Every structure is written in C-alpha cells, then in structure tokens.
Amino acid sequence: MQNSPFRQVDVFTAEPYLGNPVAVVQDGSGLSDAQMQAFARWTNLSETTFLLPPTDPQADYRVRIFTPGGELQFAGHPTLGSCHAWLEAGGQPRTPGQVVQQCGVGLVRLRRGAAQLAFAAPPLQRSPASTTLLARVAAALGIAPAQLQTAQMLDNGTAWLGLLLDDPRTVLALQPDFAALAATGQKVGVAARYPQPAADGPHLEVRGFAPHLGVNEDPVTGSLNASLAQWLMAEGLVPETYVAAQGHCLQRAGRVQLQRDGAGQVWVGGRSVTCVAGTVRL
C-alpha cells in the first residue's frame, strides 16, 4: 500500500458542507483501475478523482474520475474540486490565470477568478429524446404530461436526459421511484425557470438523478448544468449569464454560475472550500 496526499473539497459553495463534495487523491500514480474503483466505491461520494502526470504537453495535470459504479470521461464538480486541490497543494499552471486539465474528453480549460474557478464546458451533442424513454422516465419521476415543457438528450462527455419542467415547485416536489429510474439506465436532469428571479437569486432550479450509477440524487452537478446552459441558451430560454440553484432537497445550497462569452463558449463556475486534508492509504 502507499500513502497519498488527499483532500475532500466541497464544490459550488463558499460555506463548508452546503455544496457537493469530491474526494481528490492527489497522487494516483501506480494505482490500478481496480484500486481506483474500489476506493471510489468506499468513499461512496458521487465522484472520486485521482490526479496523475499529464500525457499531453499542453496539460497541467491529468485526472481520472470515478463514481461508485464506474469511470466518467468528464464531470463538472470533480473538475473544479480537483483543480482547487491541485492549486491549494502548490500546483503552478503553465499559463498564469489559466489551468489546463487533461481527462477522458481531452483538454478542459479552467480560468481563475478572484473568488472562484470556472471551466469551459466541453462541446455539446444533443438530440431528441425517444418517446418511449420519456414515458418511462416521466412515470418514474411522477411527472404529468402538462408539467413537461421540453426535453433533449445531452452529452458533453457524460450523457444526460434533460427535462425542462413548468415550475421550480414541480422540480422540488419530485419524489422519484429510484428503482424504476435506475432500470432506464439513464442519468436524468430536471430544471425549471424562475419567472421573476430576484437580483441575487437563481434563474434556474435543478436536480440530477443517477441511481443506476449508485447516486440516487447528486447534490450539485457541473456537467449537467453545463449541458443545460448550452441547450437552453441556444434555444433562448435562459439569459447568457445566470445562476442555477441545486441541492435544496438534500439540505444543500449549491450555486452554479453560468456565462456564455462573446465567442459562444459557455463557462461553468463556482466557489470551492477544502473540508478534509491529510493522507490516504491505498
């Protein structure tokens, strides 16, 4: 066994224990796939990451991302949390103010603001959802036809079925049948717009479900919010800068900052805070 520096970082919050935690093993060198998966299963968090030397000369570090049930090519809050841990441990990016992460989808750029990090959302592929899948998911969620405004299959390195519902209260009231949802084999993200958001309040209420991966509900989800923003901005359904709220039903208060720049790139940002620091034996 080996000892590795370790941090557990709470993402999309400035206040500990109100965001989404990610476990970050800061030196995953020498670990097998099976060891990484076993540790991710043990942490029982939505994601556990392992930092490695990059194989791409443009990257500052490489990351592998595991859920309790398998490896992901990309995920949002692990990207921000891993970068936070890497910088906090003394990581020095090749380009000041910008970090380049290597992961399964390739290179992901992150920019450093005064109080938060933001990642450039990977390119999105989207397509219509099948009526059969929609019917199964709606039944598992308890959604009536009138409550569903539109839906899309979304994939930016991790695939989601995105559902836009009629009202934030509908989103918050959902009580999914997780066994039925798991049987679809589909990650599902639901969102609804606030008709008159407060100046400092959220524009979108979001929840994300992945029971087939061992995560009934994810507290705050970067990849989902990235793909929702890319979809909904393209359709003119949300402004080019907005805040998404996620985690209320899990007693969290996650806030995700979404912005599309002049070149059309969507950036996904949030604050992070380290809650645990030490070493782990693997």
- Does the annotation mark 240 as catalytic? no
The C-alpha atoms of residue 91 and residue 83 are separated, in whole angstroms, by 9
DSSP-derived letter for residue 249 is: G
- 47, 71, 205, 235: the active-site residue: 47
CA distance 29 to 282: 11
Q: What is the DSSP letter of 95?
A: B
| In the chain, alpha helices (H) | 33-43, 76-88, 131-141, 168-173, 178-183, 222-234
Amino acid (one-letter) located at 162: G
Helix 76-88 to helix 222-234 angle (10° resolution) is: 120
Decide: 79 and 101 in contact? Cβ < 8 Å. Answer: yes
In angstroms, rounded to a whole number, what is the distance separating the alpha carbons of residues 190 and 20?
17
**Catalytic residue ranges:** 47
